[in-house]
Amino acid sequence: MLGLLVALMSLAVLSRVAHPTAALSLTAQVIWNGFLFGVPIVLGGFLLAKARWALMVGVMYGTVGLALDISTLVQEATRPETRASVLALSGLTGLLNFLLIALGGRGFLDVRPDGRPPAGRPPNLRPLSSSSHA
């Protein structure tokens, strides 16, 4: 998943270089940069720390990203002058976001090859106090 996050951030940089964004307000720029770069960096840190819940956050991040990619593809495809580079970048990031959803979901569910969840600890059957042996 870390590789997918790095690839998505790299494509975001490439997209910015190839297609500079229109004039956005400072607040909009901070929010957009936070989504494109801040969330993946923080998420990557939690993944490196082996936080299991970070896998599900990755699924949610990929879902939002995939929705944005699909809407960009539809919007660009319906324009009179379609830009092939925008279609290619959105298609590629859409694929990466889909893989983020699939791998994050699989990692979060952690299904073993035999189809059973990991076994829990056996119960502790020792008495709590020695006075119960009377």
Chain segment 29-47, per-residue pLDDT in tens: 889 889 989 999 999 999 9
Is residue 102 a contact partner of residue 66, using CB atoms and an 8 Å limit? no
Radius of gyration (C-alpha) of the chain in whole angstroms: 22
Provide the token pair at 127. 């008495």
Kind and range of the H or E run holding 51: none
Residue 59 has a pLDDT of 94
81 pLDDT tier (thresholds 50, 70, 90)? confident
Kindly report whether the global pTM for this prediction surpasses the value 0.95. no
State which H helix or E strand residue 30 sits in: helix 26-33
- Confidence grade of residue 56 (pLDDT, cut at 50, 70, 90): very high
Question: How is residue 26 written in tokens?
Answer: 């400072």
CB atoms within 10 A of CB 127: 9
Angle at 26 between CA 8 and CA 9, to 5 degrees: 10
Q: Of 21, 46, 19, 49, which is closest to residue 33 (Cα–Cα)?
A: 21
Half-sphere exposure of 96 (CA within 13 A, CB side): 22
